[in-house]
Amino acid sequence: MKTLKIGLIGTGFMGKAHAIAFNAAPSVFELPAKPVCELLADVDLATAESRARAWGFARATDDWRALVEDSEVDVVDICAPNFLHKEMALAAIAAGKHVYAEKPLALSSADADEMVAAAEKAGVKTLVGFNYIRNSATQLARQIVASGEIGELIHFRGRHNEDYLLDPEKPHDWHTQRATAGAGALGDVGSHILNMAEFLTGQRIAEVCGQLQTAIPTRLKADGSGMAAVENDDQAQAMLRFDQGLIGNIETSRVAAGRKMGLAYTLTGTKGAIVFDQERMSELQLYRHGDAPGRRGFTTLFAGPEHPDYASFSPAPGHGLGYNDQKIIEVRDLVEGIINHRPLYPDFREAARVNRLIDAIERSDQSGQWVIV
């Protein structure tokens, strides 16, 4: 059987999620090649070695550049902080490697465009980890919209709210600094709902009118030496105009009390509506206005084996999928795209659109005006 040897950079939460997916995917799907965990990189060698043993990697290193240049590595997987994405990706592309990277793709749309140009010139495959679009219930929502069952779309409402930085006593880390994170909540979690908006509707966001706020303006420095300003947004909202006439809005926050995984959306059409909340990720609420009077109301649909990819995990509806299952599906797509020479979604070009949307919302906040994307 063919193999794809993986070089993974980063041993945090996302690195672990990717490692789990690489190891599990061959047991869940019939793949055209087996992903092999070849080399794991972390700035601390002891950590890299320990987690390489735990996650099934053959080797470990404290030098990401050595990983990129390693002749045994076919795919470079970037699970490092945002400010490192561009340098790591460009090095991997120059070495002829396929690149799998976490979102957001880059600190800015200019950096993202540079990464797109390099990847397309080199002819390597790229994939960016907007994993929530791979949930079976969301795939079902997209199918319902495309089928016309809820009519012509007239409104999209999306949110991705969490509370991981609600505590004002939580000190700075790389997420709160402009140089290392770029945008704040808008880039970290808002990027997901921006990608989701275009994925579900099949339309492009053409104009935005945004508002950003830093709710906790100062935090303790990471070394405890005093307070320092938070340099990016804690929460953001934007009105949207799409290229085919649809209107909508999004909101995103990292200080939304009580919201742990608050990605949600409502799609309203001329014949019905869809409501989804990732905290109940295997359920979809569907309203059909054509139902008889007295019978109209939202119906709960459970993701099941009739829906995309669900049957590979469970033979029965109601049992549900989990976060890591979305990453397993993502790895399946990565392997199939590389081996079978298929387009990958979202690739660097598609992810760069999200960076352009983020930049446009920030510019709108600064100008107080609508901005064309």
Q: Are residues 117 and 140 in the same domain?
A: no
Q: What's the pLDDT at 332?
A: 99
For residue 121, give both structure tokens. Answer: 């010139």
CATH code (residue 16): 3.40.50.720
Same domain? For 165 and 247 the reply is yes
Domain that holds residue 257: 135-367
Within a domain: 372: no
Condensed to tens digits (0 to 9), the pLDDT of residues 127-180 reads: 999 999 999 999 999 999 999 999 999 999 999 999 999 999 999 999 999 999
In a domain, 228, yes or no: yes
Q: Which residues, 6 or more positions from 278, have their beta carbon under 8 angstroms from its beta carbon?
A: 132, 135, 261, 262, 263, 264
- Position 244 scores a pLDDT of 97
Q: 81 and 26 share a domain?
A: yes
Q: Is there a single domain that holds both residue 106 and residue 73?
A: yes
Q: Is 117 strand, coil or helix?
A: helix
- Is residue 373 one of the residues assigned to a domain? no
| Same domain flag for 160 and 207 | yes
- Cα–Cα distance measured from residue 221 to residue 337, given in angstroms and rounded to the nearest whole number: 43
Does one domain contain both 156 and 301?
A: yes
Contact 238, 208 (CB under 8 A): yes
Tell me what pLDDT residue 340 has: 98
**pLDDT number for residue 359:** 99
pLDDT at 1: 87
Q: Is residue 123 part of a domain?
A: yes
Which domain CATH number covers 311? Answer: 3.30.360.10
> What pLDDT was estimated at residue 165?
98
Looking at the structure, do residues 40 and 68 belong to the same domain, yes or no? yes
Q: What is the DSSP string of 276-321?
A: EEGGGTTEEEEEETTSPTTS-S-EEEE--TTSTTGGGT-SSTTS--
Answering whether pTM is above 0.85, one says yes
Note whether 153 and 80 are same-domain residues: no
The residue from 131, 154, 186 where one domain ends is: 131
The reply to whether 117 and 156 lie within a common domain is: no
Show the tokens assigned to 65.
């550049």
Same domain, 51 and 194: no
Question: Can you list the residues of the chain whose pLDDT is less than 70?
Answer: none
- Structural domain count, the chain: 2
Residues 323, 228 share a domain: yes
